[in-house]
A and B are shown apart, each in its own frame.
Chain A
Amino acid sequence: MSARREALLWAAQRASAALLALCVVVHLATMIYAAHTGLSAAQILERTRGNAAWLGFYSVFLLAVVVHVPIGLRAVLSEWLGWRGASRDAVLAAFAAVLAWLGARAILGVFL
């Protein structure tokens, strides 16, 4: 069971990394565009509110973060602190839930 879980976690981290590579580029390009063209907060909200494409893009971005970050932290906690087992995984699951909640709040904040 452990071997299967580790293999699936590895696959999930690779797949989420591929998504992140794309999403981070789009996100940075958007931020640079918004900053350099001098868009105001109101103008940005005008573009994002009710925009299903942005909602979809940032939902995928958030999903990739929620999957990728806890798996990476899992290895850091194991190797640097020697923390393994169910307690570590429970804390990371809670951390993933917090990330998902904060991210969803930010996305809905500019969509609704």
Chain B
Amino acid sequence: MKTLDVRVWRGGAHGRYQGFQVPREESQTVLDVVTHIQRVQEPTLAYRFACRVGMCGSCAMTVNGVARWTCRTHVDLVAPDGRLEIAPLRNLPVIRDLVTDMREFFDKWARAKGRFQGRRTRREDFERVAPDSEARKQVDAAIECIGCAVCYSSCDVVAWNPDYLGPAALNRAWTLLRDVREAANPERLRAVAGDAGCHACHTQMGCSERCPKQISPTAGIAGLKRAAAAAALKGEL
């Protein structure tokens, strides 16, 4: 039987890799490999997953040096030589083994004012949003984020500037900025502009390269920069 040579991170920030031999299966995903190790070989291995179908965003890990959603990453794709090195996501504190502390990541969504604030009440009619309008198309291109933090983990600016809100939070802010129903955009623009916000982005596009949902946070961040510049020139920022 063919086996995979797997090294898995164990412990906290100062841990080490532990080696495992895992049976190779057809259509095997990286999450299948981790699950096999935890269920058959090492029950104390900590990792996080939920839906297994690429919807929940909880199973992201660093696989052979690259942040990926493990439930939709086939071993064929990332380990043609049968070797896997699986580590927790970069740029987030490690709790244990493959589990990171996501609090800072989601706190930054809140700091970027990622919560929708509409103008209308439930007693009023729905707002009409034309599906082919430019703003709606821009929202469509960015709205499918599952909050997996692959972009955040792949961003060098996050590593250099720990206050930087990061691609996911800024992408969320961009979808709300382009939402015609949204009421809190002036405050949102103030929250996302500046040294810790969109202006810190160097357009390296690590986030856009790695996003498993093919979103381009870089494009949204560029849109935020343009909007912030326009508002600043009008004295509205």
Q: List residues of chain A with CB under 8 Å of any chain B CB.
A: 2-4, 6-11, 14, 75, 78-80, 84
Contact = CB atoms under 8 A, between A and B. Distances in A.
Q: Dominant SS at the B interface?
A: helix
Interface in B113-138: none
B232 A4 contact: yes
Contact of A10 (B160, B161, B190, B228): B228
Nearest to B193: A3
A4 B202 CA distance: 19
6 tightest Cβ-Cβ pairs between the two chains A and B: A7-B232, A3-B193, A7-B228, A79-B160, A11-B229, A6-B194
B160 A3 contact: no
B225 interface: yes
B231 interface: yes
B161 A2 contact: no
A14 B191 CA distance: 21
Contacts of B231: 7
Interface in B175-200: 189-191, 193-195, 197, 199-200
Contacts of A11: 229, 232-233
Nearest to B162: A82
Nearest to B236: A4
B109 to A, nearest CB: 18
Contacts of B194: 2-3, 6-7
Contacts of A7: 193-194, 199, 225, 228-229, 231-232, 237
Contacts of A9: 199
Contacts of B197: 3, 6
Contacts of A4: 193, 232, 237
Given A10-B199, A11-B233, A78-B195, A3 B228 contact: yes
A78 B202 CA distance: 13
Contacts of B199: 6-7, 9-10
A10 B200 CA distance: 10
Contacts of A80: 160
A62 B67 CA distance: 43
Contacts of A10: 199, 225, 228-229
Interface in B127-180: 157, 160-161
Given A3-B237, A6-B195, A7-B194, 19 more contacts: A2-B195, A3-B193, A3-B197, A3-B228, A4-B232, A4-B237, A6-B193, A6-B194, A7-B225, A7-B229, A7-B231, A7-B232, A10-B225, A10-B229, A11-B229, A11-B233, A14-B229, A79-B157, A79-B160
